[in-house]
Amino acid sequence: MAKRKKSRVKKTKAVKAKGKKKLTEAQEFEIMKLVLDKFLWLGFAIMAIGFFVSVSGGSLFNAISYLVAGALVLVLFMILIVKEYEIIK
């Protein structure tokens, strides 16, 4: 009788787990800057939409809700930075 071949899935998972690269602190910081920069742009863009809605004569409630949503994104940005990196005084 022929022997059953072992599944390759288990081998590839083990290889992938061992093959992960470690990042230096500088590389990790650069990647984090790229990601958090998107949150910053997104927060200001949402706030700019709110400002545009308020200036263009749209509903004041809609304008304020856009401004608050943009502010919440920026606060989330701040929390991520403080949580991830120590602030040296």
- pLDDT exceeds 70 at position 16: no
pTM here is: 0.59
Of the chain, the percentage scoring pLDDT greater than 70 comes to 72
Q: Let me know if 5 is exposed, middle or buried by CB neighbors in 10 A (0-12, 13-18, 19+).
A: exposed
Q: What is the mean pLDDT of the chain?
A: 77
- Given a contact cutoff of 8 angstroms between Cβ atoms, the answer to whether 40 and 77 are in contact is yes
Specify which of 8-17, 22-31, 49-58 reaches the highest per-range mean pLDDT: 49-58
First-to-last C-alpha distance (Å) of the chain:
72
- Given a contact cutoff of 8 angstroms between Cβ atoms, the answer to whether 66 and 49 are in contact is yes
Higher pLDDT, 63 or 31: 63
- pLDDT exceeds 70 at position 17: no
